[in-house]
Every structure is written in structure tokens, then in C-alpha cells.
């Protein structure tokens, strides 16, 4: 007699190839529309699901987990970041949590470099000029930006993505510096030609570009606060493709408005999709709608990892991308 298939609830629409494969393997409950589940819908889903497949838009906190049914045994997150999941509470309730690390490293690093170029070379301003029909032709002094080559790049967070950014920046001729919770091994530092700064304050005050590539944790919340933003050079720019909560967005907005810093490129925001309206008004800011990992290849690979984690768990083994509380 065939064994009962796992009941898997997916909270958002995923690529068709991923949904099709999931449907072949499990008893999958898919979303008909690409909108986030409401709190009530998540609560109902957790009452019967064996496996929940959430995304970054779902807040899986302790209160919600407290209402989960006894069937729930795995939260297979579609994405690498798990700061939207109370991993500690989940594990206390016997629920495993997995994620999809490493899949979007190159995609996010590419977007980081794209934002650096967009801000320093004023690409959105040029695009807006062309779309308005107001361009009057080439001029020696029009739309002057700055080159990346020779600039000092300070990377905040030297994990997979930070290192991928470092490799790309070196190709552009940038000088790579970094601050990290733990210093890299000497051979990795040498390979990346990266200079370690134990003091974040000292690094921030000397860089031309700051790239945020660390996760959001209690210790990194507002790591770039008003005081540290004030330390930045007036000609410096800041780029964030990690988590919006790492930067005090109000302080950043004030610094940009007063031209205490030269510019910013943001793909993530402190209050997720709710963006400070004053940021939209500034010409020295490039704003993107959380596109850092938005490639067809990346989304498909994330889905494959989710499926592998669920299938491995269903076969009675530890999911390969298991998240433990100490990692969060």
C-alpha cells in the first residue's frame, strides 16, 4: 500500500517548473494568485500542513507557530535569509527549518555592482533625460559621474555574497576592504586582495563605497546608524542588497537630503515594501524593487533546493540545508 504523501503548503506562486515537480512528488497546496498569504490564511495552513514553504514576505513568528498543528514538521524556506522565521521556537516545537543558501550569490553580487555603477555613473538620471525627450545632445560637462576604478570599497559582511562582490570589484580596479564578525583566513584574504578592518567606524570613515552584504540579526539591526553614516565621506556612496534593517533609513535619508553623503543604491528597505517617500524625491538615490536575486536561473535553482530538502526529509534523513538556531 503506497505511503501517504506529504501535505505541502506553498505560500506564494513559484516558477511553473518548480510547482509542477512539487505536484508530482507531494500533496501540494499552491497559491492561485501571487499575493502573500494573510495572517489568517497562514494560521489555517499551519493547522494541517506537514511542510510549509514560505518566502521572505511571510512572518513566521512564535505566536503563529504556537497555533500550528501536530503535523507540521518542516519549514522549507524558499530563500536563503530566515530572519522572518522564529527558528528557535520552531526547533523547540520539533519543527525543522531549511533554506536555500548559495543559490543567488552571483545574482546578488551582480546586482550590487550594477547599483554601484548606477549611482556613480548617474544611469537613472540619464535614462530619465532620454525618456523625457529633453536631451539636447552630447556636452563635455553634461551628466558627469565618477569611475569605480581606484575607489576604496568597504564590504560589510564577507560571506558568500560579500566575497563574490569583492571578486567583481577587483576586476573594476577597486581596492577591497571589509569588516566581518570573524576575520577571513589569511589565504582567502590574499586571494581576494582584501584588507580587514576590526573597527567598523574606522573603515566606514575611509571608504568611497560601502556595500552592505550582512544578514539582518539583532546585532546588525541599524548597524549603519546615524552616527556611522555621519562618519562617511561626503563623496561616498552606500549600496544595500542584503536587508533593509541594517541601515537606519531615516538617518540615511537625512544624510542624502543634506548631501552629507553623495548617493545610495538600495534594493531592500527597512520596512520591506513600504519605502520612505522622501527617498523617492532624491536624484542621488537609485531604488530597485528587491531584484537582487531575480533571475530565472536563480529562482528555478531555489525551487530545486526546496524540493531536495523536502524529499530528503520525507525519506527520513536530515535536510541538507538545515538551519540551526545558532546560525541565525
> What is the share, in percent, of the chain residues with pLDDT greater than 90?
90
% of residues, the chain, pLDDT over 70: 98
Residues 205, 34: Cα–Cα separation, whole Å: 43
User: Do 178 and 197 form a contact (C-beta atoms < 8 A)?
Assistant: yes
Q: Is the pLDDT of residue 229 over 80?
A: yes
With bands split at pLDDT 50, 70 and 90, how would you rate the model's confidence at 138? very high
Q: Binning pLDDT at 50, 70 and 90, where does residue 325 land? A: confident
pLDDT for the residue 4: 84
Would you give the distance in Å from CA 310 to the centre of its chain? 23
Residue 124 CB neighbour total at 10 angstroms:
17
Q: Are 149 and 125 in contact (CB under 8 A)?
A: no
Burial of 13 (0-12, 13-18, 19+ CB in 10 A): middle
Does residue 5 contact residue 27 with C-beta atoms inside 8 Å? yes
CA 155 to chain centre: 15
Distance (Å, whole) CA 106 – CA 113: 11
- Give me the chain's average pLDDT, please: 95
Q: Is the pLDDT of residue 327 over 90?
A: no
Whole-model pTM: value is: 0.88
Architecture of the structural domain at 7-103+296-327: 3-Layer(aba) Sandwich (3.40)
8-40 confidence digits (pLDDT tens): 999 999 999 999 999 999 999 999 999 999 999
Phi, psi angles (nearest 5°) of residue 161: -70, -45
Q: What is the C-alpha to C-alpha distance for residues 106 and 284, in angstroms, rounded to an integer? A: 26
Domain boundaries, the chain: 7-103+296-327, 105-134+145-287
Strands 322-323, 96-98: pairing is antiparallel
User: Which of 119, 125, 179 has the alpha carbon at shortest distance from 147?
Assistant: 119
CATH topology of domain 105-134+145-287: Rossmann fold (3.40.50)
Identical fold, 7-103+296-327 and 105-134+145-287: yes
The DSSP call for residue 326 is G
Amino acid at each position: 500500500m503506497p505511503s501517504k504523501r506529504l501535505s505541502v503548503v506553498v505560500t506564494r506562486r513559484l516558477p511553473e517548473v518548480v510547482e509542477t515537480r512539487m505536484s508530482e512528488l507531494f500533496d501540494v497546496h499552491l497559491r492561485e494568485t501571487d499575493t502573500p498569504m494573510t495572517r489568517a490564511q497562514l494560521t489555517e495552513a499551519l493547522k494541517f500542513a506537514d511542510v510549509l514553504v514560505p518566502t521572505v514576505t511571510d512572518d513566521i513568528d512564535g505566536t503563529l507557530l504556537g497555533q500550528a498543528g501536530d503535523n507540521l514538521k518542516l519549514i522549507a524556506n524558499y530563500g536563503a535569509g530566515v530572519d522572518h522565521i522564529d527558528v528557535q521556537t520552531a526547533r523547540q516545537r520539533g519543527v525543522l527549518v531549511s533554506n536555500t543558501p548559495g543559490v543567488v550569490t552571483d545574482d546578488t553580487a551582480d546586482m550590487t555592482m550594477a547599483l554601484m555603477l548606477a549611482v556613480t555613473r548617474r544611469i537613472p538620471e540619464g535614462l530619465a533625460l532620454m525618456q523625457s525627450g529633453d536631451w539636447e545632445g552630447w556636452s563635455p560637462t553634461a551628466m558627469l559621474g565618477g569611475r569605480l576604478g581606484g575607489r576604496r570599497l568597504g564590504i560589510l559582511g564577507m560571506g558568500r555574497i560579500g566575497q563574490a562582490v569583492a571578486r567583481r570589484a577587483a576586476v573594476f580596479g577597486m581596492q577591497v576592504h571589509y569588516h566581518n564578525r570573524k576575520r577571513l583566513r589569511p589565504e582567502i584574504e590574499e586571494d581576494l586582495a582584501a584588507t580587514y578592518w576590526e573597527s567598523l567606524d574606522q573603515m566606514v570613515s575611509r571608504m568611497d563605497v560601502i556595500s552592505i552584504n550582512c544578514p539582518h540579526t539583532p546585532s546588525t539591526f541599524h548597524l549603519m546608524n546615524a552616527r556611522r553614516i555621519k562618519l562617511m565621506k561626503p563623496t561616498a556612496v552606500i549600496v544595500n542588497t542584503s536587508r533593509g534593517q541594517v541601515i537606519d533609513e531615516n538617518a540615511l535619508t537625512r544624510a542624502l537630503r543634506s548631501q552629507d553623503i553623495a548617493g545610495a543604491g538600495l534594493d531592500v528597505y527597512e520596512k520591506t515594501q513600504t519605502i520612505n517617500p522622501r527617498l523617492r524625491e532624491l536624484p542621488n538615490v537609485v531604488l530597485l524593487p528587491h531584484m537582487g536575486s531575480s533571475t530565472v536561473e536563480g529562482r528555478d535553482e531555489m525551487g530545486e533546493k526546496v524540493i531536495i530538502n523536502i524529499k530528503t526529509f520525507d525519506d527520513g534523513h536530515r535536510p541538507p540545508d538545515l538551519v540551526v538556531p545558532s546560525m541565525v
